[in-house]
Amino acid sequence: MSTYLGIDLGTTGTKALLCQADGTVLATATAEHPSLHPRPGWSEQRPEDWWESAVAAVQAVMARAGSQARPVRAIGLSGQMHGSVFLDSGHRVLRPALLWNDQRTAAECAEIEAAAGGRAALIQMVSNPAFTGFTAPKILWVRRHEPGVAEQIRHVLLPKDYLRLRLTGERATDVSDASGTLLLDVTHRRWCRPLLSKLGIDANWMPTCVESDEITGKLTPTAAAALGLEAGIPVVGGAGDQAAGAVGNGIVRHGIISATIGTSGVVFAHADQPQTHPDGRVHTMCHAVRGAWHLMGVILAAGGSLRWVRDQLGQPEVAAAQGQDQDPYDLMLAVADSAPPGSEGLFFLPYLTGERHPHSDPHASGAFVGLTVRHTRAHLLRAVVEGITFAMNDCLAVIRDLGVEASEIRLSGGGARNPLWRQWQADIYGQKVALINAQEGPAFGAAILAMVGAGAYQNVPEACAATIRTVESLAPQPERQALYARWQQQFQRLYPSLASEFPRLAQLARGGAG
């Protein structure tokens, strides 16, 4: 039986997944790659490290699948969005890529909005305001601060598309990932040449833009030898990690929303028409489904906040889990569960790396609010988990305000693995949540796109209907739902109260005054 390979270039590592056309996952493997943080708020990675982790992951997944692995009929790609890979005319990488969570470009965002004629005009052109994590402001930052690099730029690629270049020799991207550059006319699914012109960005730098299930090239002999595959395997457009994850969750029709908690947190809703928030409080982007779009709210440090608290306060659980085949996060959540819902008035703002939605504030920082001598480590742990979920619910509220309702919210990522957190999400969202049979995320969605590109299915919704089903549902507990609704209102008052202080705190962190 033919197999399909999905490769997901994540923030901490690259995941490879091999599956059959019925959705049966034969094997997965992940290889890590490092990040660079040369200054506070800066986040970079070396594209060569991505290639090395992709090679390692694919080699491992093929070995684990063994005799079931071949023949591989098609490859799909997914990856972290917004990152900028700068190449010269010979495809040589000019500097480390600036990542989605890099916060250095506030001045360039203001420059972009001014060049477009204001925020409303920019949203009219590309369906989104300027965010520090997006690709366009990174291009302007390099041009301003690294003119020697800028002079050599001839191509700009997104992270997963650098892998495509190494796999096929072709420069291409898909419309879902391109939506996060701030340079795509999202409504018409093509590069926005008027904005490129206003910003002085050469349109020839941008790769060919395709639909997610469209074949973009074939595996070269050199790449095939490195991966241990056969040359000539087609590689489809793929998708940005959130759109690919939505495909892997079956969020390909109206009425279903996903809530995914990884390093970031994402609330994702399918839309049959392009629909924008007038203030840009959620993203509007092209979906990986042909002729469809999506609304997306992003919390920059969702699972990232939980990892922070694990590293700072979770040493007992980390130690207890070692050698016991236990997850330290599960142990931490068990401790958190000993504190009451609402953490007795303790709130946590999960803005550890600035925030994107619904506040769009690169200066925002994390905070515990309401701390008293009564609070214990259990309260702190619970407050962090609740704060992450409150922030996710903020995004869900904006999407609902746009008239997008859903019969269920499908959970995925780290926030879906623990039964306690699944129930807390149902209680805070105030709606039924569900798990599906596939929990492999964007790599699985990339493999589904490969299936469609190879002709195993006619379209993405048909492929999802054949491979994805709900396996568990949880309803909110009425008393806790009512309690959390009150706590949510208080949570929403905290950011406006602190917003004016965040820039001052950021200045102090940089060693400045004033």
Element (H, E) at 109: helix 106-116
Residue 88: active-site member: no
Residue with tokens 């050599």: 152
Phi, psi of 444, deg, nearest 5:
-70, -40
Q: What tokens were used for 450?
A: 């490969």
Q: Which residue has the tokens 């309260």?
A: 379
Length of the chain: 514
Query: Omega into 71 within 30° of 0, i.e. cis?
Result: yes
Residue 372 amino acid letter: T
Q: Residue 102: which residues within 8 A CB-CB, separation 6 or more?
A: 41, 42, 43, 44, 132, 133, 138
Q: How many CA atoms lie within 13 A of 284 on its CB side?
A: 29
CA 31 distance to own-chain centroid: 18
| Catalytic entry in 161, 185, 241, 337 | 241
CB hemisphere CA count around 451 (13 angstroms): 31
Of 49, 142, 133, nearest to 94 by C-alpha is 142
HEC profile of 133-193 = CCHHHHHHHHHHHCHHHHCCCCEEECHHHHHHHHHHCCCEEEHHHHHHHCCEECCCCEECH
- Residue 189 CB coordination number (10 Å): 20
Nearest residue to 98 via CA among 158, 19, 40, 53: 158
Helix (H) or strand (E) holding 50: helix 47-65
Residues with catalytic roles = 241
